[in-house]
Amino acid sequence: MPSSGDVTIALAGNANVGKSVIFNYLTGADQVVGNWPGKTVDRAEGNFQYNGQKVHVIDLPGIYSFSTFSMEEIVSREYIANEKPDVVINVVDGSVLERNLFFTLQLMEMEVPMVVCVNQMDVAMSKGFQIDTEKLEKALGVPVVPTVAIRGEGLQKLIKKAIISVNDKKIPKTSNEYGGEVEKAVKQLHYFLETEKLDVGYSNRWVAIKLLENDPEINKKVELLSERSVQFANHLALELERIHDEPSFSIIASERYALANRIAAGAQKQSEYKITLSEKLDKILIHPFYGYFTSAMVILGLLIWTFVLGNFISELITNAMSFFQPVDPTLSGPVLAVLWNGAFGGLVAGLTLIVPFVIPFYIMLSYIENSGLLTRVAFMMDSFMQKIGLHGKALIPLILGYGCSVPAIDSTKILETRRERLLAAFAITFAPCSARTIIILSLVAIFVSIWWALALYVLDLLIIFIMGKLALKAMPGESTSLIMEIHSLRLPASSVILKQTWNRTKSLTYLVFPVFIAGSALIQLFYVLGVLEPISNFMAPLTVGWLKLPAFAGILLIVGAVRKEFVLLTLVSFVGTDLSLALTPVQFIVLALIGMLYIPCLSTISILIREFGVKAASAISAANLVTAIVVGGIAAHGLSLFM
C-alpha cells in the first residue's frame, strides 16, 4: 500500500481503450496482479517514480457505467468512493468518443479529481476524425491529453498533467446539464439531499442521479440514513416515467448519451469517411456465413500452434532432462525415492507442462485477444454457447481450457454471475487440456490411428455440449446477453504480449508447481509403502470388469489424479516404450478416453475449491468421474464388437 507521501492514480475507462497498455508503460516490471479483497475480480497495481516522488497506480476493471450489474462495476465505484485516489485518469477511445464519454460524465458526477486521456488518436485519424482536445477540455472542465499509448506518444505529458491535478486538488464541477424535466428532477433531489445532510461517500448530485435510476445499492445506503429521501426519489422517478413512458434508468441513460453526443459533436469533426482495413476484414470475420469458418480457423490455428510448437519444445526439454531416471526404492531407500521420484519428478512435470504448452498458448492467445480477433470469435459463437446457458464471452475461458484448466477456470472471472462462472468451469473440466492431449496423441494417434484420436476430440465436444445441457437443467436461471466491446483490429505491441503472458504464467506457476511437487511426492510415498497395489486390486471390478482394461490400470488412474501425463509415464515404466505389447487397440482408445474425462488433476481441483468452494468442486469432480466411467464402459463393450 502507498504511504502518506505517495501519489495514487487510478486508471478508469471502458474495456479495450488502452488502459493496460498505459499501466504497463508506467509500471514496467514493478506490478502485481491479484484479486480485490473479498472479490473474484482481477486487481492490477504497480509503482513508478516521477521527479523523486513515488506514484502508485491502480488499473481498474474496464467498465461502461457505475451500475451494480457486474462485480467489476461495483469494485470500481467502491474503490473510487472509499479509497479516494489522488487523481483518476479516465482513458477514452478517440475513435468512439461519444460512446466513451457516457462513462466520463458519470465520473464527473462523482466529483473526483480527474484527467481525461483521449487514446488511440491514430485510429481516430484513420477513420477521418479530427479531435480538438482544447475544445473538449473546455466543454468538460478537466484537463484533456491526446495519446497513442501503444507507441508511448503523449504519456509523459499525461503523467505531468495528472501530478499537477493532484497538487491543484481541483474537483471538477460540471456545467453540463441534462435536458428539461430530468435536470429539474436531479436538482430537486440534489437540494433535498443537501438539506437532509446526507453523506454516503459519494457526491450528492451523483447519489441523486443513482436514486432516480433506482440503483439498489445506493437505495439501501440512503434508506438507512433517510427513508424520506428514497420516498421522494421514487416520487420524482415515477413522475419522469409518466412523462416519458419508459423506465427511469432508461430515461437517465438517454439523457446521458444525448449530453455525450453534444460534447463529442462540439469537439470533433469528420472529414470524408474512410473505410479502414479493420472494417473491410470485419465483413468476413463477422459475416453471418463466412464468420463461422474464420472463427473455426482462429481456434484451430491456436490449437495447432500450441501442440506443434509444444511437442517440439517438450522433446527438447525431455532430452535436456534425460538425466532424470526413477530410482528403485529397494536399492536407494524410501526417503531418496520419495524425494527424487516424487518431488523432483513433480518439478520436471511442471516444467514440461508450462514451458512447452502453456507459454506458447498464452503468447498466441494474447495476440488473438489484443488484436481484437477473440471478441469477434466470441460474437460468432454466441448462439452456440447460449444453448448451454452461457454467452459468447464464455468461449474465451473454454479455449483457454485446451491449454490448461487452471488459468481457464481463473479467467471465468470475465463472466457476470457466479452461475455463469460455475457453468463455464464445469464445461472447462471436460475440455482436453495439453496434458490430456498428450495422452490422446501418445496412446491413440501413435498406436491406433490419427483418425481415432480426432474422433475422441469430436466425441469430447459432443460430451461438453450434453453435459452443459444437463448442468443447465441442474442450475436453472436466466442467462445474460452478450455485451462486449468489439474494437478495431490492430497489431498489438510485443512488449504488451510478453508482459501479459508473464503475468498469466506467473500466477499459474505459483499454484501448479507446489501441487505437482507435493502430489508427486505423496504418490511416490504410497508406492513405497505398498498402498497403491491393494487399491488397484480393489478397483479391478471396475477397471477389468467394466472397462476391460488390464489390472494395473487402477494404479494408472490413481497417479493420473495428480497430473494426467502420469498415466502415460507410469504405463511406460510398467511395460516399456512399446505399449502395443501390453494393450489392444480398444484398450488404447478406452484408456485415453478415461484419461480425457475422469476427475480433474489436483491443481484444477485446487482452483475449483478456491473459486467455488469444496461442495461445487466435489460435484464437478464427481460428474467428470461418472461420465468417464459410463462413456468408457460403453466404448469398451461397443468397440470390442468391431475391433
For residue range 255-314, list pLDDT tens digits in order: 889 999 999 998 888 766 667 777 788 888 888 888 888 888 887 787 677 667 776 777
Q: Is the pLDDT of residue 447 over 80?
A: yes
Task: Identify which has the larger pLDDT, 116 or 178.
Answer: 116
Q: Which of 253, 89, 82, 76 is nearest to 182 (CA)?
A: 253
And the C-alpha cell for 403?
Answer: 491449454
And the C-alpha cell for 313?
Answer: 519444445
Q: What is the pLDDT of residue 37?
A: 45
Contact 405, 433 (CB under 8 A): yes
- In this chain, the answer to whether the domains covering 7-168 and 180-270 adopt an identical fold is no
**Cβ count near 193 (within 10 Å):** 24
And the C-alpha cell for 259?
Answer: 449530453
Q: Which of 552, 592, 558 is nearest to 571 (CA)?
A: 552
Which residue ranges make up each domain of the chain? Answer: 7-168, 180-270, 299-448+493-640
Bridging pattern class, strands 31-35 and 42-50: antiparallel
Residue 556's Cβ-side half-sphere holds a number of Cα atoms within 13 Å equal to 27
Mind listing the pLDDT tens digit for each residue in 530-574? 787 788 888 999 999 999 999 888 888 888 887 787 787 677 666
Contact 492, 629 (CB under 8 A): no
- Going by the annotation, the residues of the binding site for GTP are 13-20, 38-42, 59-62, 119-122
Q: Is the pLDDT of residue 331 over 70?
A: no
Q: Residue 507: which pLDDT band, with cuts at 50, 70 and 90?
A: low
Q: Residue 35: which pLDDT band, with cuts at 50, 70 and 90?
A: very low
* Mean pLDDT value of segment 15-39: 69
Q: Distance between CA 502 and CA 496 in Å, rounded?
A: 10
**Cβ count near 125 (within 10 Å):** 16
Q: Is the pLDDT of residue 332 over 60?
A: no
Bridging pattern class, strands 87-93 and 53-59: unpaired
Question: Crossing angle for the helix pair 290-320 and 359-371, nearest 10 degrees?
Answer: 150
- Going by the annotation, the residues of the binding site for Mg(2+) are 24, 27-28
Q: Distance between CA 632 and CA 544 in Å, rounded?
A: 12
Q: Which of 553, 563, 559 is nearest to 605 (CA)?
A: 563
Q: Is the pLDDT of residue 2 over 70?
A: no
Residue type, 603: S
What pTM, to 2 d.p., does this model score?
0.67
- Going by the annotation, the residues of the binding site are 13-20, 24, 27-28, 38-42, 59-62, 119-122
Q: Is the pLDDT of residue 408 over 90?
A: no
Contact 444, 73 (CB under 8 A): no
* Mean pLDDT value of segment 493-499: 78
Q: Which of 604, 620, 600 is nearest to 512 (CA)?
A: 604
Q: Residue 473: which pLDDT band, with cuts at 50, 70 and 90?
A: confident
Report the chain's C-alpha Rg in angstroms.
Answer: 28
7-168: CATH architecture: 3-Layer(aba) Sandwich (3.40)
Q: What is the pLDDT of residue 175?
A: 61
- Looking up cell 499459474, which residue turns up? 508
What is the greatest pairwise CA distance in the chain?
Answer: 89
Q: Distance between CA 132 and CA 89 in Å, rounded?
A: 19
Q: Is the pLDDT of residue 454 over 70?
A: yes
CATH code of domain 180-270:
1.10.287.1770
Q: Cβ neighbours of residue 102 under 8 Å, at least 6 residues apart? A: 64, 65, 256, 257, 260
Mind listing the pLDDT tens digit for each residue in 342-396? 566 666 666 766 777 677 877 887 888 778 887 788 778 777 777 776 767 777 7
Q: Is the pLDDT of residue 38 over 50?
A: no
Contact 306, 434 (CB under 8 A): yes
Mind listing the pLDDT tens digit for each residue in 162-205? 988 887 766 666 566 787 888 899 899 988 988 888 777 788 88
Q: Which helix (H) or strand (E) holds 92?
A: strand 87-93
Q: Distance between CA 51 and CA 156 in Å, rounded?
A: 12
Mind listing the pLDDT tens digit for each residue in 235-263? 999 999 988 888 888 888 888 899 999 99
